[in-house]
Amino acid sequence: MQDVIQVLANLSTLVFVISSMLSLGLSLTVPQILAPLKDVGLVLRMLLANFVLVPLVAYLLKTLIPLDDSLAIGLILLATAAGAPFLPKLAQASKGNVPLSVGMMVLLMVVTVIYVPVVLPLLLPGVQVNPAEIARSLVILMLIPLAIGLFVNARYEAIAHSLQPQMSQASSTSLLAVFVLMLVLNVDSVLGAIGSGAILAAVLLIAASLAMGYALGGKSFEVKSVVGLGTAQRNIAAALVVANGNFADDPNVLTTILVGALLMLVILMFLAGEIGKRRPNLTA
């Protein structure tokens, strides 16, 4: 039964990522995505938050909180991988700047592929990272569907408009399935992590990352909310690629990543929804 649930969870995640990227591509244009990234100051602040401050916070947390080595490794893997496919969905829920969320996601994904192989061996001596493995999964599952959606929208606008609502619905439905299946699959891991410090460390990492991203997002609320949520939501796929390649025989590393993934999904989707509900009042 566990194997069946795992297959369904993997399938739901696959559907979510591909349908989300297609939906975004069908509703946006390349200039819309690139326009927010012309703000060099904002781009530099996003890079600072995601690739300097978040890993630094994770390193401090593993120093201050008594974590087993395996749990500390999982925390570092989460902190160094940025550019999550969930970010545009969080931006939509929070009524933030969706084109910025797509541009930020792509930027952080590309930098992650370059950054992780260089930085991880410094933080975790002995770890070997194959950038091609990370890049392949991100390109196939995210960038290609996004590019297809952008192409269809640019050349066949009527078809794009008819397909986009269906892709959006598939994205929302599969996200709900991912949440439920991940909860069922990882309930034992979550319960087992209680008392280990892993849950506390993950929650503190999420909170600190959200606060730092929000603070560095500038003055516009719809930008600050996206940068905050995008900094707090780490790239679970990239973290798992590294974990499976280096620590497949250590279940505690995977447990930390899965617990972090579940907490991010629950906490950030809730916060994004609450931000979205209050958005009109905040901008009044």
Domain total of the chain: 1
Residue 172 lies in a domain: yes
Whether residue 283 lies inside any domain: the answer is no
**pLDDT tens for each residue of 109-124:** 888 888 888 888 888 8
Domain of residue 198 covers 2-276
Q: Classify residue 47: in a domain, yes or no.
A: yes
Residue 169 lies in a domain: yes
CA atoms within 13 A on the CB side of 205: 36
Residue 281 placed within a domain: no
Q: What is the mean pLDDT of residues 88-95?
A: 90
Q: What whole-number distance in Å separates Cα of residue 32 and Cα of residue 28?
A: 6
* Residue 157 within a domain: yes
Q: What is the pTM of this model?
A: 0.80
- pLDDT tens across 20-70, in order? 889 888 988 888 888 888 899 999 999 999 999 999 999 999 889 888 888
Please report the DSSP string for 63-113 in residue order.
Answer: HHTT--HHHHHHHHHHHH----TTHHHHHHHTT--HHHHHHHHHHHHHHHH
State the CATH number of the domain containing residue 125. 1.20.1530.20
Q: Check residue 283 and give its pLDDT.
A: 42
Quick check: is 284 in a domain? no
Share of the chain above pLDDT 70, in %: 95
Length of the chain: 284
Residue 233 falls inside a structural domain: yes
Confirm if 82 and 112 have CB atoms less than 8 A apart.
Answer: yes
